[in-house]
Amino acid sequence: MPELPEVEFASRVLRKAVVGKTVRDVKVLHRSQRRGLPPRDVARVRGASISGIERRGKHQLISLSTGDTLIVHFRMTGDWLVDVSANPTPEYARIVLETDDGTRVSLVDPRALSAVTLSRAGEASLPDLGPDAADPTIDVTVVERALARRRIAIKLALLDQRLLAGVGNIYAAEALWTARIDPRAIASSLTRARCARLLDAVRTVLEKAARWTGRYRENGAGRFEVYDREGLPCSRCGARIRRIVQGGRSTYFCPRCQRR
């Protein structure tokens, strides 16, 4: 699942492939994408040149010479595939961008849940996002304040992009394991010291993931401490990793060394 490190990697791939080029054609190949990017918006993209690529949380922002911005979210299974337009259309390609030099960038997404929308010049249509989890300038106080009023489980708070942008289900679980915090702990009850440990853990986990992502895209075995490891021993204390459901999603944690 693409979270901040994977989206950062993908945005670099995209930047290298298309920045400075002109969009020759845009194809929307799946009906679920037509809702977010209807024909009138596709028409606005054709012929524009791409001036830059940025990332905010898990969103990628493709700036166009027209002032419009394409906003891309991979959701669960989206990714970029870069090749040339002479090749056959890649499997699971949902939206295809072709540039004037023959480069083709396909949004490949087996589950077709990715979201691509066009934001018109001047209207910022990103959802309300908290500070970027990779922002080195955020400090403990930022985390402490974000959690102070939230009487929800800390795992759910970490997934709330309005509080901190970029963390998803996998790295939330990994960060809580690293910080030795029980995912069921109430967010507002965390002490300043635990907030500091959590911020540190989020950074550690995201940096580690970025190093993996740089090498290969696939999830390597043994990459995670708790995620998808139900019943297996905790590498720190040996207790069996548990799986619970929070907010409809799986949470994996060590019931012995992660405390409330």
Partner DNA sequence: CGTATCCTGACC
Partner DNA sequence: GGTCAGGATACG
Catalytic (active-site) positions: 2-3, 58, 249
Radius of gyration, alpha carbons of the chain: 20
Q: How many Å apart are CA 228 and CA 189, to the nearest integer?
A: 27
Q: What is d(CA 35, CA 145) in angstroms, rounded to the nearest whole number? A: 37
Picking from 73, 46, 83, 70, the residue whose alpha carbon sits closest to that of residue 119 is 70
User: Whose Cβ is closer to DNA: residue 86's or residue 221's?
Assistant: 221
Which of residues 23 and 176 has its CB atom nearest to DNA in the complex? 176
Q: Which is nearer to DNA, 140 or 152 (CB)?
A: 152
How far is residue 6's CA from residue 216's CA, in Å, rounded to a whole number?
Answer: 10
The residue (of 161 and 178) whose beta carbon lies closer to DNA is: 161
CB-CB contact of 165 with 56 (8 Å):
yes
Binding site for DNA (CB under 7 A): 1, 30-32, 35, 57-58, 73, 75-77, 110-113, 127, 151-153, 156, 159, 161, 168-170, 247-250
> Shortest distance, CB of residue 34 to DNA, whole angstroms?
8
**At closest approach, how far in Å is the CB of 74 from DNA?**
8
**Shortest approach of DNA to residue 202 CB, angstroms?**
14
CA–CA gap between residue 194 and residue 81 (Å, rounded): 40
Amino acid at 156: L
DSSP 21: -
